[in-house]
Amino acid sequence: MKAPARKRLSPKERARIAELFERFSAATADPRTELVFDNPFTLVVAVALSAQATDVQVNKATARLFAVADTPEKMLALGEEGLIPLIASIGLFRTKAKNVIALSRIILEQHGGQTPLTRDALQALPGVGRKTASVVLNELDIEPAVAVDTHVFRVSHRLKLSLAGTPDRVEAELMAVIPQPWLTRAHHWLILHGRYVCTARKPRCMDCPVGDLCPSREGIA
């Protein structure tokens, strides 16, 4: 895999960023997705279902779904009509059901039933965009990637890891400044930090484990 291009940082900034991730690592050594999955196929499906839905909502639905369909064959046998009632509690469920059935068919017909685990092949699946592919590849330790969701975007801005205006640009800048050893887990740390500490409306700056390293602390505390 090609290593991401690095950005030249001042020694002070390099030390600040390294310390940020040292602390995240000390708090949660091996963070993983909160989505429940059993195999690469169920991971792809869970991540695809999670767009505009919480992990809790997705896990509730997939507990029922994966009990009856945890392979592309079983998912195809279930069909859209069988799938829809099981995921109807999740936003955009009709479109997602169509995509899950279509991607199951492609995995079966074009990949011999094995979920393809390269970025290009994943992104060629219906309903699988760059962010979904990044989450899958990163979670399975295949390729370090920082999928930029709303939490990662906000926390990156507040911690001044990136001030870019689009998720793609933030992703590129994060990949260029986060120290290599932390790249695989950075995505999870930033999400967890955004979900539980650096929340959108009321960041918990007083309890923040990286508050002394955060340029935004005083402004919004």
Q: Which parts of this chain interact with ligand SF4 (CB under 6 A)?
A: 158-159, 197-198, 203-205, 208, 210-211, 214, 216-217, 220
Cβ atoms of 221 and 65 closer than 8 Å: no
Of the residues 131, 141, 160, 207, only one is catalytic, namely 131
Which residues in 182-193 are b (16+ Cβ under 10 Å) and which e?
Answer: bbbbbbbbbbbb
Residue (27 or 205) nearer to ligand SF4, CB = 205
Measured from the CB of residue 5, what is the shortest distance to ligand SF4 in angstroms?
26
Query: How many Å apart are CA 173 and CA 30, to the nearest integer?
Result: 23
Measured from the CB of residue 6, what is the shortest distance to ligand SF4 in angstroms?
23
Residue (32 or 202) nearer to ligand SF4, CB = 202
Measured from the CB of residue 183, what is the shortest distance to ligand SF4 in angstroms?
19
Cβ atoms of 28 and 189 closer than 8 Å: yes
131 classed as catalytic: yes
DSSP string, 86-142: HHTTSTTHHHHHHHHHHHHHHHHHHSTTPPP-SHHHHHTSTT--HHHHHHHHHHTTS
Residue (46 or 152) nearer to ligand SF4, CB = 152
Measured from the CB of residue 210, what is the shortest distance to ligand SF4 in angstroms?
6
Residue (53 or 205) nearer to ligand SF4, CB = 205
Residue (77 or 200) nearer to ligand SF4, CB = 200
Of the residues 7, 70, 74, 149, only one is catalytic, namely 149
DSSP string, 136-198: HHHHTTSS------HHHHHHHHHTTS---SSHHHHHHHHHHHS-GGGHHHHHHHHHHHHHHTS
Measured from the CB of residue 87, what is the shortest distance to ligand SF4 in angstroms?
33
Instruction: Give catalytic residue positions.
Output: 131, 149
